Amino acid sequence: MNYWLFKSEPDTWSWDQQVGRGAEGEEWHGVRNYQARNNMRAMKVGDLGFYYHSNVGKEIVGIVEVCRESAPDSTTDDPRWDCVHIRAVRPLARPVTLEDCKAHPELEGMVLVNNSRLSVQPVTAAEWQTICLLGGL
DNA sequence: GCCAACGTTGGC
DNA sequence: GCCAACGTTGGC
């Protein structure tokens, strides 16, 4: 079981919209970055991820689960781009902001803190635990 | 709205 | 294969 972090601008696709897709989930299409794609290719059904709102909010708002393994992105004919499907699991009781992550020494190694541009990131088990705690779960 | 960081492209 | 130019992302 591995942990991940998915970024989305809420103006484009928000947590509420993701929740609205229910158990069926949503194709995480549109990623055009090799590192992010490779992360998705490494995912297994059942892996968990944080859902992060970039630009607006700049906070982790919920937890999602990978519900379909990596497959060709339906929004392009370019065979390079694959993506997974994810479904909302539960919101955090309290969103954890980027500022919070920067403020906690145990999170200073997070990709989110150090390479904020990567849209699909790995999260360590320790980071996962810490953020769940901060998020009131 | 600005700009730093980063990734990609393409000329050589 | 190098690197300059360019485009995009996302925090501030």
Determine the average pLDDT of the residues in A66-82: 91
pLDDT tens figures, A83-101: 999 999 999 999 999 999 9
What is the identity of the amino acid at A12?
T
> DSSP label at A22?
G
Is the pLDDT score of A19 beyond 90?
A: yes
**Contact between the CB of A7 and strand C at under 7 Å:** yes
Determine the average pLDDT of the residues in A22-37: 94
Q: What SS3 state is found at A67?
A: strand
Is the pLDDT score of A77 beyond 90?
A: no
Is the pLDDT score of A110 beyond 90?
A: yes
Q: A88 - beta bridge partners?
A: A64
Q: What mean pLDDT is reported for chain A? A: 95
**Contact between the CB of A29 and strand C at under 7 Å:** no
What is the identity of the amino acid at A111?
V
Distance, CA of A97 to C1' of C7, in Å: 28
Domain that holds residue A28: 3-134
Is the pLDDT score of A79 beyond 90?
A: no
**Cα–Cα distance measured from residue A33 to residue A56, given in angstroms and rounded to the nearest whole number:** 22
Strands A82-97 and A59-72, by their bridges, are antiparallel
| CATH code of residue A63 | 3.10.590.10
The number of folded domains in chain A is 1
Is the pLDDT score of A61 beyond 90?
A: yes
Distance, CA of A27 to C1' of C7, in Å: 25
Sign of CA dihedral A28, A68, A5, A51: positive
**Cα–Cα distance measured from residue A137 to residue A57, given in angstroms and rounded to the nearest whole number:** 20
Q: What pLDDT, on a 0 to 100 scale, did the predictor assign at position A76?
A: 86
**Cα–Cα distance measured from residue A2 to residue A46, given in angstroms and rounded to the nearest whole number:** 9
Strand C bases, protein C-beta under 7 A: 8-12
- Which pTM does this prediction carry? 0.94
Distance, CA of A50 to C1' of C9, in Å: 19
Is the pLDDT score of A60 beyond 90?
A: yes
Q: Which of A85, A119, A116, A112 is nearest to A128 (CA)?
A: A112
Q: What pLDDT, on a 0 to 100 scale, did the predictor assign at position A78?
A: 85
Q: What pLDDT, on a 0 to 100 scale, did the predictor assign at position A15?
A: 96
E-strand stretches of chain A: 3-8, 26-27, 48-53, 59-72, 82-97, 120-123
- Nucleotide minimizing C1' to CA distance for residue A58: C11
